[in-house]
């Protein structure tokens, strides 16, 4: 029987079954993001997240921060290639709904309407309602057909939000991912340089917000260890992917 370290290494390594080339639909979305001046994950990060998601068969997957569907397109393309590897459900969280029409169009392009949907609500509200329903339900295994936001159990959470939002988004993911579930998130960059004094009553500068968020990130990683998650930090081109696996 393989040890935890060996299993973790096998999970996070590059999946040779897939090409590093960007899927056609994802490439078109990437061009659209450049025109809209929206930030992109590096191709290395996108492909590795796709590799891991395709290597396992999680029961239910949640993508926090759908944007206009760039990362979702990589995932849907992989799952569409081999139906046996796709999750039972895929929920894309994109607060505000301004990209909802674009995401719905993407889902239809992959004929994934029966198992993929968009939730245009804040992540904290989705988690709060899901945990409340799970706590009150006597038969959580039947939640797939219930009106709760997230089907249970949630086997994988992928977080793709701005840096300052990642610590809180990660801590919320702890509340809904199942015992042996997987969480993936890009590590925020370490703040550098003088950010000035933190003065009570004065609004934080953008640089100070990044420092505060990074401190919260460290706390979130420590919490993951307390909760029993095994972690791997994958150095990629332009990013460090953090993979947390429950025990």
Q: Where are the domains of the chain?
A: 4-12+42-188+201-245
The DSSP 8-state label assigned to residue 86 in this structure reads: S
List the structure tokens of 225. Answer: 């260890």
For the chain, residues with pLDDT lower than 50 are 1, 138, 140, 142-145
pTM for the whole structure: 0.89
Do the strands 116-119 and 177-186 form a parallel or antiparallel pair, or are they unpaired? unpaired
| Confidence at residue 11, expressed as pLDDT on a 0 to 100 scale | 80
| Confidence at residue 20, expressed as pLDDT on a 0 to 100 scale | 79
Among residues 145, 135, 86, which one has the least CA distance to residue 110?
86
Q: Rg of the chain's alpha carbons, rounded to an integer?
A: 18
Helix, strand or coil, per DSSP, at residue 182: strand
| Confidence at residue 122, expressed as pLDDT on a 0 to 100 scale | 94
| Confidence at residue 83, expressed as pLDDT on a 0 to 100 scale | 64
Q: Which CATH architecture has domain 4-12+42-188+201-245?
A: 3-Layer(aba) Sandwich (3.40)
The DSSP 8-state label assigned to residue 92 in this structure reads: E
| Confidence at residue 1, expressed as pLDDT on a 0 to 100 scale | 37
Residue with tokens 């329903």: 133
Q: What are phi and psi of 102, to 5 degrees?
A: -65, -45
| Confidence at residue 145, expressed as pLDDT on a 0 to 100 scale | 44
């Amino acid at each position: 029987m393989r040890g935890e370290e060996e299993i973790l290494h096998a999970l996070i390594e590059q999946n040779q079954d897939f090409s590093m080339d960007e899927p056609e639909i994802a490439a078109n979305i990437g061009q659209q993001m450049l025109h809209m001046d929206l930030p992109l994950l590096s191709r290395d990060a996108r492909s590795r997240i796709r590799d891991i998601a395709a290597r396992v068969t999680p029961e239910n997957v949640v993508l926090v921060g759908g944007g206009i569907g760039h990362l979702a397109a990589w995932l849907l393309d992989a799952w569409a290639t081999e139906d046996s590897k796709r999750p039972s459900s895929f929920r894309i969280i994109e607060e505000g709904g301004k990209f909802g029409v674009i995401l719905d169009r993407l889902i239809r392009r992959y004929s994934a309407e029966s198992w993929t949907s968009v939730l245009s609500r804040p992540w904290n509200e989705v988690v709060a309602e899901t945990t409340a329903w799970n706590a009150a339900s006597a038969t959580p295994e039947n939640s797939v057909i219930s009106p709760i936001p997230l089907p249970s159990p949630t086997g994988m959470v992928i977080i793709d939000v701005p840096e300052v939002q990642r610590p809180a988004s990660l801590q919320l993911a702890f509340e809904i991912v199942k015992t042996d579930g997987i969480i993936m998130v890009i590590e925020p960059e370490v703040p550098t340089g003088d950010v000035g004094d933190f003065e009570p009553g004065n609004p934080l500068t953008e640089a100070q917000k990044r420092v505060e968020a990074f401190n919260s990130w460290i706390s979130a990683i420590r919490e993951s260890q307390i909760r029993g998650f095994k972690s791997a930090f994958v150095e990629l081109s332009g990013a460090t992917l953090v993979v947390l696996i429950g025990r």
